[in-house]
Structure 1
Amino acid sequence: MDISEKLRLVTRNTEEVVTEHELRQLLESSEKPTAYVGYEPSGEIHLGHMMTVQKLMDLQKVGFKVIILLADIHAYLNEKGSFEEIEQIADYNKRVFIALGLDESRAKFVFGSSYQLSQDYMLDVLKMARITTLNRARRSMDEVSRRKEDPMVSQMIYPLMQALDIAHLGVDLAVGGIDQRKIHMLARENLPRLGYRSPVCLHTPILVGLDGQKMSSSKGNYISVRDPPEEVEKKIRKAYCPAGVIEDNPVLDIAKYHLLPRFGVLRVERDAKFGGDVEYTSFDALAEDFISGSLHPLDLKLAVAKYLNKLLKDARKRLGVSV
C-alpha cells in the first residue's frame, strides 16, 4: 500500500489531523508506528464509542499497532465507581472492542493502573501541574465537569494525566473525538517541556444522537451493542431524518461513519414503482440522492437498520451473546 492510500484510509471520516504533514512524515519514516485511544470504562458501548474503534481498524489496515487504554484510574477520579466495579466494566469493554472487529494480534490493551501509580508517572503529573495554569486545566476538562460550579481537583488532574498517557505509552499518534482537542493541544505544547515528543493528533467527529441532539445516556438517544435487533430497528425508524437535510442527521451519519467503511456498500431495497433497488458505494452519492429527494428517508432508515443489525449481530456472535 503506497503512502497516498495509507493517508486516505487514516484520514477518511476525520474532523482534523494535527498535522497532516507530520502524519505523512510518520508514515514515511516508521515501519511500525503506534496509535492509541483512551476509553473511560463504560457499561454501554454505543455507536459513539465505535467512531474511534472504526478509526483504529483503519489504522491497523495501514500497519499501525494500536494501544487501547482502559482508563480505570481516570474513571475513579471521575467518580464512576469503585476500582472493583470499574475493572469489571473495563474487562467487558475489552471483549466488545475485539468483537467489533479490532485485530487482537495488533492491539494491546492496557489498564491505566498498570503504570499510572508508578513513581515516574506521578512525578510527571506534578511536573505537568507546575507548568499548566488553572484556567488551561479547566478548559481541558470534559464538558460535564467543566459545567460544574465547583469541580473536584481530581477532575482537573484528569486532563493532565491524559496528556501524560501519550508520553508514557510511547505512542506516535493520539486518536480521539474532536472533544479531546484541548487535551491533545495541551500535550503537544507541554510534553516537549518535560522532555517528551510532541504527538501527531487525529480527531474524529462527534456522532449526533438519534434525536439530532447531543448524544446522552440520560436521554437514551443512542444505539448500544446490547440493543436487540427489534430495538435497533425501532430506534432507527423513530430517528431524526428530515427529507433532504444532511446536517446533524444521525441516520446518514451511521451510514457514513459505520456502515460504508465496514461493508463498502449500502443497498437500499425498494419496490419498482419507487425506483427499484439502488446500491451506494460512496457517501457522496448517497447524500446527493437524499438531498435531491430521490432517496426517501424511510427507505434509507430501513436499509441502515438492516446493515446496522448485521454489524451488531456479528459483534454479539463473537461475544457469545444472543438476543
Structure 2
Amino acid sequence: MDKIDIVKRNLVEIIQEEELEELISKGIQPKIYAGYEPSGKIHLGHLLTIFKLLDFKRIGFKVIVLLSDLHAYLNNKGSLEEIEEVAKMNKKVFEATGLDADYVIGSSFQLDPEYMKNVLILSRKVTLNRARRSMDEVGRNMKTAKVSQIIYPLMQVMDIARLDVDVALGGIDQRKIHMLAREEIPEMGFRKPICAHLPIIEGLDGEKMSSSKTNFIAVDDSEEDIEKKINSSFCPPGSIENNPIIAIFKYFIFQRYDKVIIERDIRYGGDVVYSNFTNFKNDYLEGNLHPVDLKKNAINYLNKILSPIREKI
C-alpha cells in the first residue's frame, strides 16, 4: 500500500487530493493537526481520528493534537476548571494509544494579542449567517446559540493558521469550518490547508456517537462493559444502515487486522475468514452472517484492540 492509499483509507473526502499527493511527493516533513474539545471520555469516535493520525505519522507527518479547552468552554461543555481537568485525562489516553505527537493546549496561545487581533480581522470578513451555519453540526443547542458559538469557528480557523499546518483533519461535521479556513486565511498571509474528513460513526443506538450521550464505547471501558454495551446495541439483520456493529468492523477491526475470523458454532456454518471488509459486508447484507455472531466477535476484537490502551491508563 503506497503512502496516499494509507492516508486515504476510511476518509470521506480530501480537499484537495491532488494537493495532498503533491505535498507527500516533496520529501519534506509536513504537519497535520486535529483538534479535540476536552468534554468527556475518549471514545471510538475519537479513536477513529487517532488511527488516522497514526496513518499520517506512519508516512512521515508531524502530528499536532490540539486540546481545545477554550472551544469546549465556548461550546458550553463545562467550566474552565472542569475542562482543564478533562484535558489532562484526555491527553493521558491519547498518549496511551501510542500517538507520538505535539500536544498543545488551546489557551496556551489563543489569548495572545496577535491571535485575537486576527480573530477580529476574520470576524469582519465572515457573515453572521455563515459563521452560524459552520457550527450547525458542531455546536451544542444551536437553536438557542450563544455568541460564543459564533466566535468558535473563527477561532478554529485561526488555530489552523497559527499552528501553520499543511493538513487539517476532522470529522465531516468540520467541513464548513475547514472550507472557511481554505477561503479566508490565504488572504491574511497564511497557507491554505488541505482538509481531510472522516465519517461520523454511529453510536450503539444507531444515532451519532457523542460524549454527551450514553451511546459510546470509551477506550477505557472494561471487558465487561464492552460486552454489555455491544450485546445491547442496535444491529438490524441484513442491514448496514446506521449499524454501529458494522461500523466497528469497518473502521476499527478491519483497520487493524489483515485477516478477520468470524467464529461461530458449526451448526451455523462454522468459522468464516475475511481478508477484506467488502466481502464481509456483502455476506451480512445477504443474510449469511447473523447479528449475534457479529456482536460476539466484535466484543473479542475490540477488547484485543483496547486492552493495550487500558493497561497504560
Q: TM-score with structure 1 length normalisation? A: 0.93
What amino acid is the match of 1:82?
S
Alignment of 1:1-323 (within 5 A): 5-102=2-99, 104=100, 107-143=101-137, 145=139, 147-319=141-313
CA distance 1:233–1:129, change in 2 (3 Å):
same
CA contact (8 A) 1:233 1:305 kept: yes
Q: Percent identity?
A: 54
How big is each residue's C-alpha offset from its partner over 1:275-294, in whole Å with a ceiling of 9 and x where there is no partner?
Answer: 22122221112112111222
How big is each residue's C-alpha offset from its partner over 1:97-152, in whole Å with a ceiling of 9 and x where there is no partner?
Answer: 121231x2xx1100111111111101100110010000011011153647534422
Q: CA deviation at 1:192?
A: 1.0
Q: CA deviation at 1:88?
A: 1.5
SS in 1 for 2:11: coil
**CA distance in structure 2 between the partners assigned to 1:158 and 1:11 by the alignment:** 28
CA distance 1:144–1:191, change in 2 (3 Å):
closer
User: Which stretch has the larger CA shift, 269-278 or 10-19?
Assistant: 269-278
SS in 2 for 1:143: coil
How big is each residue's C-alpha offset from its partner over 1:6-36, in whole Å with a ceiling of 9 and x where there is no partner?
Answer: 1111010011110111111111124201100
Q: CA deviation at 1:218?
A: 4.7
SS in 1 for 2:129: helix
**CA distance in structure 1 between the partners assigned to 2:191 and 2:37 by the alignment:** 24
CA contact (8 A) 1:139 1:146 kept: no
User: Which stretch has the larger CA shift, 16-25 or 288-297?
Assistant: 288-297
**CA distance in structure 1 between the partners assigned to 2:90 and 2:188 by the alignment:** 32
CA distance 1:274–1:150, change in 2 (3 Å):
closer
What amino acid is the match of 1:65?
K
CA distance 1:268–1:200, change in 2 (3 Å):
same
How big is each residue's C-alpha offset from its partner over 1:214-256, in whole Å with a ceiling of 9 and x where there is no partner?
Answer: 2244541111123221121121112111221122111010011
**CA distance in structure 1 between the partners assigned to 2:130 and 2:253 by the alignment:** 38
What amino acid is the match of 2:60?
G
What amino acid is the match of 1:293?
G
Q: CA deviation at 1:82?
A: 2.9
What amino acid is the match of 1:19?
Q
How big is each residue's C-alpha offset from its partner over 1:35-66, in whole Å with a ceiling of 9 and x where there is no partner?
Answer: 00000102211111111111101111111111
CA contact (8 A) 2:220 2:309 kept: no
User: Which stretch has the larger CA shift, 18-27 or 85-94?
Assistant: 85-94
User: Which stretch has the larger CA shift, 17-26 or 223-232?
Assistant: 223-232
**CA distance in structure 2 between the partners assigned to 1:11 and 1:112 by the alignment:** 28
**CA distance in structure 1 between the partners assigned to 2:61 and 2:122 by the alignment:** 28
SS in 2 for 1:176: strand
What amino acid is the match of 1:158?
Y
**Cα RMSD (Å):** 1.6
How big is each residue's C-alpha offset from its partner over 1:179-213, in whole Å with a ceiling of 9 and x where there is no partner?
Answer: 00000000001011211111000000000111112
CA contact (8 A) 1:256 1:283 kept: yes
